[in-house]
Amino acid sequence: MAHTIVIFGASGDLTSRKLIPALYQLDQKNRLPADTQVIGVSRSEFTDDAWRASLAESTQKFAARDFNEAAWSKFAQRVFYQPGDIGTPEDFTALDDRLRQLEGESAATRIYYLSTLPRLYPEAVARLGAAGLAGEEHGQRRIVIEKPIGTDLASAHSLNEAIHRVFQEHQVYRIDHYLGKETVQNMLVLRFANSIFEPIWNRNYIDHVQITVAEEVTVGRRGGYYDTSGVLRDMFQNHLLQLMMITAMEAPVRYEADLVRDEKVKV
């Protein structure tokens, strides 16, 4: 069975800086199925080889310690590019044809990763549905939505409604990539599984909490995103609030996604 990861916004900063280096490192550690393939979709007119060459340069930069020419060449053979515009229905038909060509006639699992401007999320989801790319008749279909999930409560509800018109809830992953940082992932273990800190992690012993985000990355190529979102919505509304909630939340009854989320919301 083929396993396909489709990245929309393939020419963007997140793809070259985070997504492809992470997938390459997983592949290098044999943590991806051997028949996993990656297809990038964006408006830029790349060929497969041109996109691979661009990604080799960025991956060598952002995964420098783990970069190996032979390992990259092996991984890159399963990396493909499909030009496409989210606003053009015909491009989703072309994407469907390309996916069928690469996957063959057998069932396949797919992950659609929206690494695009947030304002394009509803249209991208609708186009996937209209092209018949969301149904699970021939294998699992999942969609990954990057933060921000809306800019306020009303827009978050609106986005969720748009998603649920096409995908069922079990198909949807909403992510904040700060939660993937090693220190953040270890925070709950540090707090609740450590007999030294757990009894004193409360207002009686902690004077204040200071969260420092020591970012060195500039706006770079993300000017269009920052023009509409701004730094408060980019950093404070999600990254910093997530860190605050993990720092202050009570222990969930069980470590399941819904229960952890419910404890976060109480903060």
Q: Which of 125, 154, 175 is the last residue of a domain?
A: 175
Residues 227 and 110 in one domain: no
Where is 113: in which H helix or E strand? strand 108-114
Residues 235 and 252 in one domain: yes
Residues 208 and 191 in one domain: yes
Mean pLDDT over 151-161 rounds to 93
CATH code, domain carrying 148: 3.40.50.720
Residues 225 and 146 in one domain: no
Q: How far is CA 49 from CA 31, 77, 79, 80, in A?
A: 24, 9, 9, 8
229, two tokens: 């979102």
Reported as a pLDDT band with limits 50, 70 and 90, residue 260 is very high
Reported as a pLDDT band with limits 50, 70 and 90, residue 214 is confident
Confidence (pLDDT) at 124: 98
Residues 88 and 167 in one domain: yes
Residues 86 and 147 in one domain: yes
Residues 140 and 191 in one domain: no
pLDDT tens by residue, 88-144: 999 999 999 999 999 988 899 999 999 998 899 999 999 999 999 999 999 999 999
Q: Which of 175, 206, 230 is the last residue of a domain?
A: 175
Residues 216 and 260 in one domain: yes
Q: Which residues are catalytic?
A: 239
Q: What share of the chain is helix, strand, coil (3-state, %, to 5)?
A: 50, 15, 35
Q: How far is CA 201 from CA 35, 206, 208, 256, 262, in A?
A: 46, 7, 11, 22, 20
Report d(CA 127, CA 89) in Å as an integer.
Answer: 7
pLDDT tens by residue, 53-91: 999 999 999 887 889 999 999 999 999 999 999 999 999
Residues 15 and 44 in one domain: yes
Residues 191 and 208 in one domain: yes
| Domain range enclosing 220 | 179-266
Confidence (pLDDT) at 215: 74
Confidence (pLDDT) at 147: 86
Give pTM, 2 decimals: 0.87
Angle between helices 241-248 and 182-192 (to 10 degrees): 20
Backbone angles phi, psi at 9, to 5 degrees: 85, 35
Residues 71 and 166 in one domain: yes
Q: Which of 157, 175, 193 is the last residue of a domain?
A: 175
Residues 221 and 250 in one domain: yes
In terms of DSSP bridges, do strands 2-8 and 79-83 run parallel, antiparallel, or are they unpaired? unpaired
Q: How many domains are contained in the chain? A: 2
**Average confidence score pLDDT of the chain:** 91
